Structure 1
Amino acid sequence: MKAKLALLSSFLFIVTSLVFSGGTSATAASTSSVYKISTRNCPATATQKITGTLTLGVSGPLSGPIAPFVDAYVQGIKDRYAYQNAHGGIKGVQLAVTAADDQFNPAMTKSNVDGWIQSGNVQVATLFGSGPLAAVAPDQNLACLPLLMASSSADQYRNIKQYPWTTQFLPSNSVEETAEVKMIQNTFPHNKTITMAIAEDMTGSGAAYLAGMRAAVKGTNVKIKAVVPFTSAPTAAITLKKDKANVVFGALVVPECVQLTGAMARVGYKPPLTVQASNCGSAALMFAPAGAAANGQKLVFWEKDPGNPIYKNDPGWKHYVAAATSVDPTAAVGNTYYETGYMTADMEVNSYLIAAKSPSGLTRASIMQAARNQNYQEPLFINGLKWIMNAKEAFGIMKLQPLVYSAKTKSFDYQGAIINTCPQILGAKNCTGGL
């Protein structure tokens, strides 16, 4: 009975609270759409107060070709946590990060997360990739361990009833690919049919992107002409050149996107349009190394591009740089993956602050309750975009900004208006005012 009353009090608190994090404000969802986390079948740890230290467990490919990007991401998390610790932590609770290598191998990810569940030494977890998330989500939800801001685009784990203790940071496939199809149609407004060839990464992430694109093109004039396995960049480039599609879509992960661009250039092929997946959204790291070959490539994105002169005097960008360098003078603030890690950590901190102010205090359950009910203006989001989570919207990001890469400036330019996918995916009545 006490647990039920505590949850009800938390519910009422989140409805009315206003919390400040990172110099910006965040409000909870409206009463009609607040999601209430259940601890009915959870272990006792779910409702125990967190004291002393809150530890985030990060499982990711800390070795192998993706490691440099993941290392930067993890350092961004560490620096945002360090900044919070320097400003009182979470009502006195200090934040810590422990990272474990999984080599992008789902079995190793599961081993890491299972170990954290059994030891009880980690109160919140996160990970990289749709394959690793698939391996972890069922048991992690049974254990009531909050898994926040997973770097995955898979749609199925947005099902709140099945996976209430899991949130994902990357836009879902349905959101991203819906926006990409709209951007493609805007690029070819006079084409009766727009043909697409897809280069597919051969992991769960590539499969998720492909499934999302297949769903997004249904009922449109965009037709998938070919799907090319990305097992070898040169071989894929030669095959794509033969396909002669209007659009090449890279259903890829870093660093495959820049590898694809380089390989197509080496075989003398530049499609009328190349669209890269959002996880490749670093102008400096995923586009600039390809030189002129990347000029004109497009993507849909939500994050302020580091180094882009248009953000030089942006308040959110300036606060990020000042805060990060105050705790880490060598902080790689110009690295997109560092910035993304810092940004996801900022949204985690926002959840912790809301949870700590709830009647039940800082617990795993109150953290998950807070994470599930957000209307947050993240300072590093492109202006006009917000992080929205509630009982009706489990997507986080449903608006995306089309961008086009300029080889001349080595940065992205805005390409048209922000695309709002919420009405198309959820129906207008289920889209909150925050969108």
Structure 2
Amino acid sequence: MMMRPFTLGVCALACAVGSASAAEKKYGPGVTDTEIKLGQTMPYSGPASAYGVLGTVELAYFKRLNAKGGINGRKVNLISLDDGYSPPKTVEQTRKLVEDEGVLAIYGTIGTPTNSAIHKYLNSKKVPQILISTGADKWNDPKNYPWTMALYPSYTMEGRIYGKYILQTKPNAKIAILSQNDDAGRDYVRGFKEGLGDKAKSMVVAETTYEVTDPTVDSQIIKLKASGADTMFNMSTPKFGAQAIKKVYELGWKPTTLLVSVASSIAGVLEPAGLEASQGVITAVSAKSVGDPLWNDDPVMKEFVSFMKEIGQEGKLTDAGAVTGYISAIMMHKLLEACGDDLTRENLMKKVASIDEPTLPMLLPGIGVKTTPTNFSAFHTLRLQRFEGKGYVLFGDPITD
């Protein structure tokens, strides 16, 4: 009879210890003691296949991280599926990742039309759609879409910076605009005109758009040249950005060219267009450019170059997408690490809503990443650079919008 209270005490103690252990570890879908499962879709094929390098770099980053022990003893299993930059395919592949694979989060998916196709679905399922690679304004809406956040400068903000630059340096410019006919294109153009202010109506002399399914933009460029414009705002994705630069050069047209960051890659756009044709192109940037002599002795640049060689992607060193993927993987690594043993979708989004990184490897000095529960826009400052010779050269001071 005397043993009974003692037995009950032991049981109570065991239960308390068990409860404490359970409280220490909280797992959402896709998480175990040994694994964190993430999903994404990438355009490894199709009209935007140049962006596939982001997925290649992100996969390699986590593979290397796993070889070193992973995150808090857990290996990151990133499942990266091809969507061909086709929204219906994105929906199909994302459903597979969420419903069949049971991933913790959808991470890093590229593109405005592709992410738009899964936006409502993922929020209705309360699945994080995070660090996506698109700068459309719609991703910064934590009140209505609390599960979505992008890791890319706002297209509208970038557009405003170009507009302000032209207003200050060429106040009498005659401007022609080429843009993709989607949310990304409209955000960029709206921001650009906001930057021009009241003078937008008189300065913009021609506008035309293209569809992502168009074979070329040659006819659009011919139309823009005929307007007599001396300045061009080129809002396009890599394939069409290269075509536009090349056609402008072939026509003997020499406008001041503002090229949006999503199409600013040397390897993915300027080299295919022709380096001679690309001279003088101006773009806004948040990250360091490989090949810029300014970073020759920079330890961070040396580490990135070493990483790219290690994963067999030395040929993509000057591809801006490779740098974007690298920064994204580091940010995802930090978020998962910050979650500790509370690897639930809810806690992951809490960390997403409170990022405060004054800098990250490969970001330019003065540019950091910061979010709050009411503002998921991660970037607030950019710099301008001009293509000269075989690389970009920064000019001017950091510009905060």
Could you say whether these structures have the same fold, taking a TM-score greater than 0.5 normalized by the shorter chain as the test?
yes
Partners of 1:141 and 1:393 lie apart in 2 by: 17
Whether the aligned pair in 2 keeps the contact of 1:76 and 1:340 (CA below 8 Å) is no
Whether the aligned pair in 1 keeps the contact of 2:178 and 2:233 (CA below 8 Å) is yes
Partners of 1:79 and 1:117 lie apart in 2 by: 22
Where 1:414 maps in the other structure, the secondary structure is strand
CA distances 1:338-378 after superposition (whole Å, capped 9, x unpaired): 2221211111111111111xxx6222222221122111111
Q: Which has the larger radius of gyration?
A: 2
Change (3 A) 1:202 1:174: closer
Change (3 A) 1:253 1:391: same
How far apart are 1:156 and its partner, in Å? 1.6
Q: Which residue of 2 aligns with 1:20?
A: none
Partners of 1:354 and 1:250 lie apart in 2 by: 39
How far apart are 1:91 and its partner, in Å? 0.5
Partners of 2:278 and 2:313 lie apart in 1 by: 29
Where 2:47 maps in the other structure, the secondary structure is coil
How far apart are 1:81 and its partner, in Å? 0.9
Change (3 A) 1:392 1:194: farther
Deviates more, 1:77-86 or 1:256-265: 77-86
Q: Which amino acid aligns with 2:149?
A: T
Whether the aligned pair in 2 keeps the contact of 1:194 and 1:247 (CA below 8 Å) is yes
Where 1:57 maps in the other structure, the secondary structure is strand
Partner of residue 200 from structure 1, selected from 176, 179, 185: 179
Change (3 A) 1:164 1:314: same
How far apart are 1:292 and its partner, in Å? 2.2
Q: Which residue of 1 aligns with 2:393?
A: 413
Partners of 2:392 and 2:115 lie apart in 1 by: 30
CA distances 1:233-274 after superposition (whole Å, capped 9, x unpaired): 221221111112232111111121121010011111111x11
Change (3 A) 1:234 1:325: closer
Q: Is 1:91 the equivalent of 2:100?
A: no
Partners of 1:104 and 1:329 lie apart in 2 by: 25
How far apart are 1:148 and its partner, in Å? 1.5
Q: Which residue of 2 aligns with 1:3?
A: none
Where 1:383 maps in the other structure, the secondary structure is coil
Partners of 1:208 and 1:283 lie apart in 2 by: 24
Partners of 1:195 and 1:210 lie apart in 2 by: 15
CA distances 1:209-235 after superposition (whole Å, capped 9, x unpaired): 334334443445573322112343221
Identity level (%): 22
Partners of 1:76 and 1:418 lie apart in 2 by: 27
Whether the aligned pair in 2 keeps the contact of 1:47 and 1:365 (CA below 8 Å) is no
Whether the aligned pair in 1 keeps the contact of 2:47 and 2:85 (CA below 8 Å) is no
Query: What does 1:15-414 correspond to in 2, within 5 Å?
Result: 46=28, 50-67=32-49, 69-125=50-106, 126-188=108-170, 191=171, 193-220=172-199, 223-230=203-210, 231=214, 232-271=216-255, 273-289=256-272, 290-326=274-310, 328=311, 330=313, 332-356=316-340, 361-376=342-357, 377-406=359-388, 408=389, 410-414=390-394
Where 1:269 maps in the other structure, the secondary structure is coil
Change (3 A) 1:113 1:174: same
Where 1:415 maps in the other structure, the secondary structure is strand
Partners of 1:221 and 1:208 lie apart in 2 by: 15
Where 1:249 maps in the other structure, the secondary structure is strand
Q: Calculate the TM-score normalised by the size of structure 2.
A: 0.85
Where does structure 1 lack aligned partners over 5 or more consecutive residues? 1-5, 11-43, 422-435
Q: Calculate the TM-score normalised by the size of structure 1.
A: 0.78
Whether the aligned pair in 1 keeps the contact of 2:159 and 2:189 (CA below 8 Å) is no
Q: Which amino acid aligns with 2:347?
A: S
Where does structure 2 lack aligned partners over 5 or more consecutive residues? 1-19
Whether the aligned pair in 1 keeps the contact of 2:111 and 2:134 (CA below 8 Å) is yes
Q: Which amino acid aligns with 2:58?
A: I
Change (3 A) 1:259 1:81: same
Partners of 2:258 and 2:32 lie apart in 1 by: 44
Highest relative contact order (Cα 8 Å, sep 6+), 1 or 2? 1
Where 1:194 maps in the other structure, the secondary structure is coil
Q: Which amino acid aligns with 2:180?
A: D
Partners of 1:102 and 1:47 lie apart in 2 by: 23
Q: Which residue of 2 aligns with 1:424?
A: none
Whether the aligned pair in 2 keeps the contact of 1:52 and 1:92 (CA below 8 Å) is yes
Q: Structure 1: which 4+ aligned runs deviate by more than 6 Å?
A: none
Where 2:143 maps in the other structure, the secondary structure is coil
Whether the aligned pair in 1 keeps the contact of 2:47 and 2:84 (CA below 8 Å) is no
Where 1:258 maps in the other structure, the secondary structure is helix
Partners of 2:221 and 2:148 lie apart in 1 by: 37
